[in-house]
Amino acid sequence: MRVLVVGSGGVGDAVARIAARRDFFEVMVIADYDLARAERTVGAARAAGGGDRFVAARVDASDPASVTELARAHGITHVLNAVDPRFVMSVFTGAFDAGADYLDMAMSLSRPHPEHPYSEVGLKLGDEQFAEASKWVDASRLALVGMGVEPGLSDVFARYASDHLFSRIDELGTRDGANLVVRNEAGEEIFAPSFSIWTTIEECLNPPVIHEAGRGWYTTPPFSEPEVFDFPEGIGPVECVNVEHEEVLLMPRWLDAGRVTFKYGLGEEFIGVLKTLHALGLDRTEPVRVKGVEVSPRDVVAAVLPDPATIGPRMTGKTCAGLFVTGTGQDGNPRSTYLYHVVDNEDSMRDYGAQCVVWQTAINPVVALELLSRGTWSGTGVLGPEAFDAVPFLDLLAAEAPTGYGSAWGMVEK
């Protein structure tokens, strides 16, 4: 297996640091528009034991031909997209044109319904990719989409719950929360999102999507249906709200459930900031002219906030990704189970030099790549994680090193 990672920001950098300890690939090319950033990631991966299997390169993720040319130059078999979702289709196309398989952690962008954005879906997340599924099937090639943590691991949990825990599922409810705190040099708590603010704005201010059996997909206003969810391992209760996310667009394609939702534990302050950005038009992606210069307001917001890849040393706390499943157990009795994965920032920083949110996202595509390299997972077309047996993934994730990745997941009955 010869892997091209497009993007060496927080997640791409963590991918390299995790993969450096594994032996399932021959070459991993770390590519970024900023070559110096890619070179820093390669240096860290080599120092972590990856050796000369890691190579740095420059790529323009907005240009499919740039991705294709780089992939062909290195004989790439698998392209892992680690840039933000606005570049999904260009990297997706570039991988196909290069004759490589493809993985991503976020899917092609949505567009709200032009007349009824808060009740009806428009172009859904991933629609542009699924529209090309037959092309990938005809080429006997695989595009594994939504293979991060959320989407990704939560989708693996859904397949596991469907196969092994429940005879009927009333709701597949992804629930994501944390108790993370970031402080400045003076020790004062500051507003510093732990993931790409560009992506966070896209997810949180777009109309959330819900799926119901018999009704299909529909939307609600942002931050709808608030609920307090009690997260495990000391995180505790966090208010969660509906957010647009890929799980709701993926799970119903392969699994039967009465309802599918995604709720994110944003917290009151974060919701307030996002509402303010929207009210001021600072969530817009269309350029505006400022003193003779064309600039995207959302890019300005991203530029003035701390880079998520750099805040790890100033962050404390844990992040939890999981799936709350309700319905009927295989014994015929009512069942409510939360399947989850918790990462402590102190642990991920100590062991990998990566903050917990990007590390938790990055480990899942690396596990998936290893399963694909073994032939444990295989397929053609545009497929989500639900299309594959969950047990090999969860076993490899949790098994102690060097056999597995030593990252335990858990279940709690509620």
Tens-place pLDDT, residues 79-98? 999 999 999 999 999 999 99
Query: What band does 270 get if pLDDT is binned at 50, 70 and 90?
Result: confident
Give the Cβ contact number of residue 245 at 10 Å: 26
Return the higher-pLDDT residue of 194 and 289: 289
153-356 is a CATH 3.30.360.10 domain = yes
| Mean pLDDT confidence for 139-147 | 98
Mean pLDDT for the stretch of residues 104-123? 96
H/E/C letters for each residue in 67-132? HHHHHHHCCCCEEEECCCHHHHHHHHHHHHHCCCEEEECCCCCCECCCCCCCCCCCECCCHHHHCC
Type of residue at 134? S
From 130-144, 154-168, 267-281, the region with the lowest mean pLDDT: 267-281
**Lowest-confidence pick of 23-37, 128-142, 171-185, 307-321:** 307-321
Binning pLDDT at 50, 70 and 90, where does residue 196 land?
confident
The tens digit of pLDDT for each residue in 334-375 reads: 999 999 999 999 999 999 999 999 999 999 999 999 999 999
Instruction: Just give the CATH number of 2-148+358-408.
Output: 3.40.50.720
Domain boundaries, the chain: 2-148+358-408, 153-356
User: Within 10 A of 185 (CB to CB), how many other CB atoms are there?
Assistant: 7
Q: pLDDT confidence of 307, banded at 50, 70, 90?
A: confident
Average pLDDT, the chain: 94
Angstrom distances, CA of residue 128 to CA of 132, 185, 264, 289, 383? 7, 44, 25, 30, 13
